[in-house]
Structure 1
Amino acid sequence: MDRLSGNARIPPRSPKGGRPTQEVAARLNTHILDAALEQFITHGAEQTSMNAIAAAASVSKRTLYARFESKIGLLMAAIEHGLEHQLDDFKTHIPNGSNREQLLSLAGEMLDMSLEPRVIGLQSLIKWLEAQDKGYEKRIAPGDLVKVGRGPFINLLKAMPEFDGVKDEELDFLASFLLDALVSSPHRRILERHDLDNTAQSKAEYQSKTLDLIVRDFHCFG
C-alpha cells in the first residue's frame, strides 16, 4: 500500500471502551504520520494546518497535540517516518552480470526513486526545517536523506567478492561517491539545471558515461 494514500484501515475502538491495545495504538500512530506527511508534502509546511491533518487522518486535533505536542513536532515525526520507510517500497532486482551491470541497474533504480514526488517532497520539507534556523537540524539533518540512499550501494559493494576485507569506512566513502556521481548529480541536473532530460535513455546514457570516467585511469592527475 502506498504510504501516502492515507487509506490505512484502523480497527474500530472496542465497544467496551478503555485504552486501545498497543498494536492498535501503533497502527494509529503510523496512520496519522502517513496522513500528515501527505498533507505536508502536498501543501507545504507553512500552509498545512492541524485541522487539515486531523481531517485527513480522521482523528481529533486533541489526539494530534497529545501525541506530537505541536505542528512542528508532528512535522519532524512525519519526516522521520518518511525517512525510515523510504526504502520499504524500493524493490529492485539486481540482475546477474558484471559488477558494472549490477551497479548501473541499482543506480538507475535509485535515480528514478529520487525523482518521485514523495522523495522530492521530503527534501523540500527538510530544507524548510533547516531554513528556520531554530536548531531543528539537531534532530533532522539535511544529510539524513543521503544516508538513506547510501545504504543500497554499501550492500551491493559488500556482495562483490572484490571488496572482501575492505574496511567499512572505505566502503562507506566509495558508496557516497557513487551515490553522488550516479544519482545526486543527474538528479540536480534534471530538477535544478534542466540540462538533462528525465527520460530512461538520457539517464542511462549519463550514468554509463559517468561510470566510464570513474573506471578510466586519470594518469594526468597522478
Structure 2
Amino acid sequence: MQAADTAPAVSRGGRPSREAAAQLGERILDAAMELMLEQGYGATSIEAVAARAGVSKRTFYHRFADKAALVQAVVARVVERARPPLAARASTPPQAPAPEGLEGLRRSLHDFGTHTLRAALSPQVLALYRLIIGESHRFPDLLRAVALSGGRAQAVRTLVDTLCRQLPQLPPAQAEFAAQQFLQMLVSLPQLRAMGIGDAMSEPDCELWVTQTVDLLLNGLGG
C-alpha cells in the first residue's frame, strides 16, 4: 500500500504550495540520506525511501527520475551545506581588490582552510565519504554524483582566484597546481584519522594543521 503524501499546505488549485513542495523534496532527501547511511546505497530502494518520507511512489518520481538522480541530489545537498562561505565567490568574476600583500593572502588561505577542514570533518561528509569508499566499486552512480556536485572543482576555482588576485605574477597553471596540492594536504590525513585510521585530531590540532599547511604552500610559492 502506498504511503499518503502529507504536504503542509495546498494551493487553491489543489496542488501543494511552492513552500510545501520544497518541504516535500527535503523530506525525501532526508529519508534517502538516512536509509543510505543505515543500510547502504545498494540496499536502499525507492520504495523504502518513499515509505520513510511518507509519500507515494508517484510523488517520488515526480521529483526524481530514478535512483541515480536521487543520489545526485543527496550528494549535492551535503556538499552545498558543507561548502565554505568563500566558495560562493568562485562562480563570479573577482572584483580585483587592492593588493593586500602576503599577510592578506595568508589570512584568506587560513580562513578558507579552516572552513574547508571543518566541513570535511563534519559528520554528514564523513558518513558520505564512508559510503562512497564502501560501495562505489559496485555502484558508479555514487562517483558520478560526487563529480556532478562540483564540490572540489569549485573549491579549486576559489583558491585559484585568490592566488591569482594576490600573486598576479603567478601563472594560472601553477596557481591551479598549487590549489590542488593545498586541498590534498589540507584534508586527506585529517579525514582519514577522523575515520579511524589513527587518532582523530582535536580542535587545536586542526588549527595548527591549517596554519602549517598554509605556511607550506606560501613557502613553496616563494612567499
- TM, length-normalised to structure 2: 0.66
* 1:67 matched residue in structure 2: 63
CA RMSD after TM alignment: 3.8
Provide, for residues 107-131 of structure 1, a one-character-per-residue CA deviation record: whole Å limited to 9, x for no partner: 1221111110111123234335521
Give how far 1:40 is off: 2.4
Q: How does 1:23-42 map to 2 (within 5 A)?
A: 25=21, 28-42=24-38
Work out whether residues 109 and 214 of structure 2, in 8 Å CA contact, stay in contact via their aligned partners in 1.
no
Equivalences for residues 23-102 of structure 1 within 5 A: 25=21, 28-87=24-83, 90-91=84-85, 97-102=103-108
Give the partner amino acid of 1:204.
Answer: E
Identical residues among aligned pairs (%): 28
Q: Does 1:186 align with 2:190?
A: yes
Mapped partners of 1:157, 1:42: distance in 2: 41
How many residue pairs were aligned?
A: 201
Identify the residue that residue 199 of structure 1 maps to in structure 2: 202
CA-to-aligned-CA distance 1:138-172 (integer Å, 9 cap, x gap): 554499543344344334334x43x2364544322
Match of 1:174 in 2: 178
Q: Are 2:10 and 1:13 equivalent residues in the alignment?
A: yes
AA of the residue aligned to 1:99:
L
Distance 1:167 1:31, change over 3 A: farther
Candidates 115, 121, 129, aligned match of 1:109: 115
Q: 1:174 to 1:143 in 2, by over 3 A?
A: farther
Matched-pair contact (CA < 8 Å) for 2:75–2:149: no
Alignment of 1:123 with 2:122, yes or no, is no
CA contact (8 A) 2:194 2:201 kept: yes
What residue in structure 2 maps to residue 4 of structure 1?
A: none
Distance 1:151 1:41 in 2: 30
Partners of 2:219 and 2:168 in 1: how far apart?
Answer: 22
Q: Is the 8 A contact 1:154 1:175 kept in 2?
A: yes
CA contact under 8 A between 2:46 and 2:67: conserved in structure 1?
yes
Provide the C-alpha distance between the structure 1 equivalents of 2:149 and 2:28, rounded to a whole number of angstroms.
25
Kindly indicate whether the alpha-carbon contact (under 8 Å) linking 1:33 and 1:78 is maintained by their aligned counterparts in 2: yes
CA distance in 2, matches of 1:40, 1:69: 18
Higher relative contact order (CA 8 A, sep 6+): 2
What is the one-letter code of the residue matched to 1:13?
V
Structure 2 gaps, min length 5:
1-5, 87-99
SS of 2:42's partner is coil
Tell me the distance in 1 between the aligned counterparts of 2:145 and 2:74. 12
Q: Distance in 2 between matches of 1:125 and 1:190?
A: 15
Determine the C-alpha separation between the residues in 2 that align with 1:167 and 1:42.
46
AA paired with 2:202?
Answer: T
Kept in 2, the 8 Å contact 1:86–1:148? The answer is: no
Whether contact under 8 Å (2:11, 2:17) holds in the other structure is no
* Contact 2:47–2:57 (Cα < 8 Å) also in 1: yes
Distance 1:101 1:70, change over 3 A: closer
What's the CA shift for 1:175? Answer: 1.2
Residues 15 and 61 of structure 1, relative CA distance in 2, 3 Å threshold: same
On the 8 A contact 2:126/2:191 being kept in 1, the answer is: no
TM-score by length of 1: 0.66
